[in-house]
Amino acid sequence: MKKTAIISAISLVSLSAISANNLKFDRSLEMSTDRISAVEFDVGAGSLNIVGTTGNEIRINATIESEDYRKLDDLVDAFENKMLFSIERQSEYAMVYAKKKESMGWGNSKNIMIHLEVELPRGMDLVIDDGSGSMTVENIAGELKIDDGSGSITLRDIANDVQIDDGSGSIQVAGVNGDLSIEDGSGSIELKNISGSVDIEDGSGGIMAKDIGGDFTVDDGSGDVVVKNLTGQFTLIDDGSGSVTVNGARWGKK
């Protein structure tokens, strides 16, 4: 009886180790940006890191990862058959896809993540439709529009207007030479060095902002709001719960 129990325990441990196996492999894409002014990303699960450069090419390095496959060959086959990973030219746009194929649906299929490291000319306008996973964008001179399901967002050194529509996850923005608009479901928001106006509609989570050159408008569900070194006018549309402090003074709804 004890021998049977020991064998069962060993079997369970072995199965656990197999199921927790983390497999990964790499793929890459490149495209010239000749006559291209904008890049649009349609991506699913996985991290996304974008850096603006002085070159004239889009370079994408992808790491495909999953814990749901026992063999690397099986993961590679599933990626080739079930996932879409490509870059296409559409008029003056470059379209980047890294997601599950539409025909596959979700169901009970095994999870595959595609982590992207992207270098592209900093002058490109960017449109990002992201499912889940952390996102970092830095050193971009074009306009930036983000529609994100979940996962943290970090933006640095954006020399143009920024629009963010985020479901959940923290947002950190440092250095925007333009206006910033955020519609956020939940998660903390930290802003620094925004030259233009800031407009925030936030469901829940604290807001910390510093060095804002334009006006600041906020519609906040819950969480404290702290704004320091605001040059423009502050407008509080609504604050469900939490304190509001602007340039060191407590603020109430008017």
Domain locations in the chain as residue ranges: 20-125, 161-254
Q: What is the mean pLDDT of residues 135-160?
A: 98
Q: Are 26 and 61 in contact (CB under 8 A)?
A: yes
Whole-number pLDDT of residue 102: 80
Q: Which pair of structure tokens corresponds to residue 252?
A: 């109430």
Model confidence pLDDT, tens digit, residues 101-139: 986 555 557 899 999 999 999 999 999 999 999 999 999
Whole-number pLDDT of residue 107: 52
Average pLDDT, the chain: 90
Burial of 246 per CB tally in 10 Å (0-12, 13-18, 19+): middle
Whole-number pLDDT of residue 105: 56
Q: Is the pLDDT of residue 58 over 90?
A: yes
